[in-house]
Amino acid sequence: MEDVITIENLTKKFGDFTAVDHVSLKIKRGEIFGFLGPNGAGKSTTIRMLCGILEPTSGSARVLGYDLQRETEKIKERIGYMSQKFSLYDDLTVKENLTFYAGLYSVPRKELSLRIDEMIAMADLKGREKELVANLSGGWKQRLALGCAIIAKPPLVFLDEPTSGVSPTSRRMFFQIIRKMVLEGTTVMVTTHFMDEAERCHRLAFISGGKLMAVDSPDNLKRNVIQGCMVEVNLPDGMQKIKEIEKLPYVKECTIHGALLHILLDDVQNKTVLQKDLGCETQIITPSLEDVFLALARRQRLDSK
């Protein structure tokens, strides 16, 4: 399949601080590509570079076949971008916002009313065209913002945390819309902090401290990143015991998940040893995506020390 984005050693420095550090990856046509990582990892900075809003310090990228440094304007005209703090005009109506963005993205005049109708249907805002955006709740605003970002039917869409701060129902509906767009041939790069959304992506990239730690499908990440036997334990004061547990010679990693600890053992045979050492039951679990990401973030922190 054809690569829609090719990034090579893309780097962004703010003064002495490196926000994005030699990131290289490829995204194929028709992929839902998830971009994950802790706060401040460099997700938005990468996306803003790929959209041509922020100039890279070094490295190169091709987006939709155009060179990011030399053909920025061509890229800007052809992509859709929904920023983390998306910008709708509160004092304009639903329809006026769509009309404004259609103008910005040069939607042909003869297609304008059809496109607006399509976006209103997609966002489930039929009958509310004349409502002021200020009066819409979070989930509706978010779908309208997506409508504004894709009104020109761009072949490539960047969505930066499009679902933060909205209800689970709205989030599910939002991802259904994304799936439909992708079936129609759009490529989507999306950042999220929600693991259920990450599971719905074809491939994921995990970035931490500006460095790309892993790129693969959710299933392959779960299979390959965590090597060993993972067990779950319910210990009172688990949080306080992490350091102590990590000192045990057969323990590779220990992370906290709500009230439970996930402990990665070098070998399944050490499960009984751990039970004796901790004085509690342990249960073998299949690592989740959250385990993968906690492990990768931890490794990056240790690497940078």
Q: Using CB under 5 A, list all residues that contact Mg ion.
A: 43-44, 84
Distance in angstroms (rounded) separating the CA atoms of residues 170 and 91: 23
Selected from 1, 2, 16, 39, the binder of ligand ATP by CB under 6 A is: 39
Q: Please, what is the minimum distance in Å from the beta carbon of residue 17 to ligand ATP?
A: 6
72 or 84: whose CB is closer to Mg ion? Answer: 84
Selected from 44, 142, 187, 270, the binder of ligand ATP by CB under 6 A is: 44
Q: Please, what is the minimum distance in Å from the beta carbon of residue 283 to ligand ATP?
A: 32
Query: In terms of Cα–Cα distance, which of 279, 272, 195 is closest to 229?
Result: 272
The beta strand positions in the chain, using DSSP E, are: 3-14, 17-28, 32-36, 58-63, 66-67, 79-82, 156-160, 187-191, 203-208, 211-216, 229-233, 251-257, 260-265, 283-284
43 binds ligand ATP (CB under 6 A): yes
**3-class DSSP assignment, residue 250:** coil
13 or 153: whose CB is closer to ligand ATP? Answer: 13
Angle of helix 112-122 relative to helix 94-104, nearest 10 degrees? 130
43 or 171: whose CB is closer to ligand ATP? Answer: 43
User: Is the sign of the CA dihedral 214, 218, 220, 225 positive or negative?
Assistant: positive
Label each residue of 47-88 as H, E or C.
HHHHCCCCCCCEEEEEECCEECCCCHHHHHHHEEEECCCCCC
Q: Please, what is the minimum distance in Å from the beta carbon of residue 274 to ligand ATP?
A: 34
Using CB under 6 A as the binding rule, the residues of this chain from 78 to 137 that contact ligand ATP are 84
Q: Please, what is the minimum distance in Å from the beta carbon of residue 177 to ligand ATP?
A: 22
209 binds ligand ATP (CB under 6 A): no
The answer to whether the beta carbons of residues 253 and 263 sit under 8 Å apart is yes
192 or 282: whose CB is closer to ligand ATP? Answer: 192
- Read off the tokens for 233: 């334990």
Q: Please, what is the minimum distance in Å from the beta carbon of residue 86 to ligand ATP?
A: 13
85 or 130: whose CB is closer to Mg ion? Answer: 85
Selected from 34, 37, 59, 139, the binder of ligand ATP by CB under 6 A is: 37
Distance in angstroms (rounded) separating the CA atoms of residues 257 and 242: 12
Find the farthest-apart pair of alpha carbons in the chain and give their distance in angstroms, rounded.
74
Q: Please, what is the minimum distance in Å from the beta carbon of residue 162 to Mg ion?
A: 11
Selected from 30, 42, 52, 147, the binder of ligand ATP by CB under 6 A is: 42
36 binds ligand ATP (CB under 6 A): no
Residue 130 backbone dihedrals phi, psi, to 5 degrees = -95, 5
The answer to whether the beta carbons of residues 132 and 93 sit under 8 Å apart is yes
255 binds ligand ATP (CB under 6 A): no
34 binds ligand ATP (CB under 6 A): no
19 or 133: whose CB is closer to ligand ATP? Answer: 19
Q: Binding residues for ligand ATP, per CB under 6 A? A: 14, 19, 37, 39-45, 84
